[in-house]
Amino acid sequence: MPVRPRECVARVTATRVLTPDVLEADLAMVEPATLAFDAGQWVSVPFGPKTVRAYSIASSPRAPALITLCADVAPGGIGSAWFRGLRPGQDVRFKGPLGGFVLDPGDARRLVLVAEEIGIVPIRSIAGELAAAGFERPTTLVYSARDPGWLVYDAELRALARRHPRFAYHPVVRAGDGARGEAAPTVDELVTDVAALVAYVAGGAATIDAVRAVLTGKGLERKAVKWEKFW
């Protein structure tokens, strides 16, 4: 059964700069001592009575005592300033876990994962869980970004693909060396058969809509395209 969200306290143990605009923070759980969650879920950080920001969990549910959040801080708003200001030893409060962008444990269909820029965060957690199970079902990941510098987990995902022949990884960039364009045309090229297929798409609304249009145009049921909108 899904875990009910609750108010939580955690302590920052480390922060990392992945790019000038993408940061990670490790949080050791304080109350509760562990956070049971599903890969793909997120937590909600309050900034006032009616102001919250959502942060997807980048780490594995198999390590519930320490969670990793990852954020694009380029927007520069209240959440970006908070994330930039996180320091080891600082306590943070949030509510979680939240969200239904998760794998169905009884679903054996082939997987197409599509991530656009910071949308890779829940997809990374999902891919990690699939890897831990040995990729029991074939999985293809298309990861798109404006340029190679925004493929923040590229090296990790390439290594994962080398270790697991049932996991195919396709980075797509719109500028720079090896530029190929948008995610949707790549999905169109790679997916030739939608039988026994389910898709998970995370990123901007335009990319979600374009990928969904490609897949439903090939005959995939609309409800077989799961999505998580970041902007």
68 near 124, Cβ under 8 Å?
no
Q: What is the CATH architecture assignment of 110-229?
A: 3-Layer(aba) Sandwich (3.40)
Task: Report the SS3 class of residue 92.
Answer: strand
At residue 100, does pLDDT exceed 90? yes
pLDDT of amino acid 50: 87
Ramachandran class of 187: left when φ > 0, alpha when ψ lies in -120 to 50, beta otherwise: alpha
The encoded tokens of residue 48 equal: 């006032």
The type of residue at 32 is P
Say what percent of the chain tops pLDDT 70.
97
**Per residue in 5-34, pLDDT tens?**
999 999 999 999 999 999 999 999 999 999
- The residue behind tokens 């309050």 is 46
Summarize pLDDT for 150-194 with one digit per residue, the tens: 999 999 999 999 999 999 999 999 875 544 678 999 999 999 999
> What span, in angstroms and rounded, lies between the C-alpha atoms of 146 and 203?
12
Query: Which residues have CB under 8 Å from 167's CB, separation 6+?
Result: 127, 130, 131, 135, 138, 139, 140, 141, 160, 161
User: Under DSSP, is residue 153 helix (H, G, I), strand (E, B) or coil?
Assistant: coil
Q: Answer yes or no: CATH 2.40.30.10 is held by domain 6-98.
A: yes
Beta bridge partners of 139: 111, 167
The average pLDDT across 42-68 equals 96
pTM: 0.94
The domain locations on the chain are: 6-98, 110-229
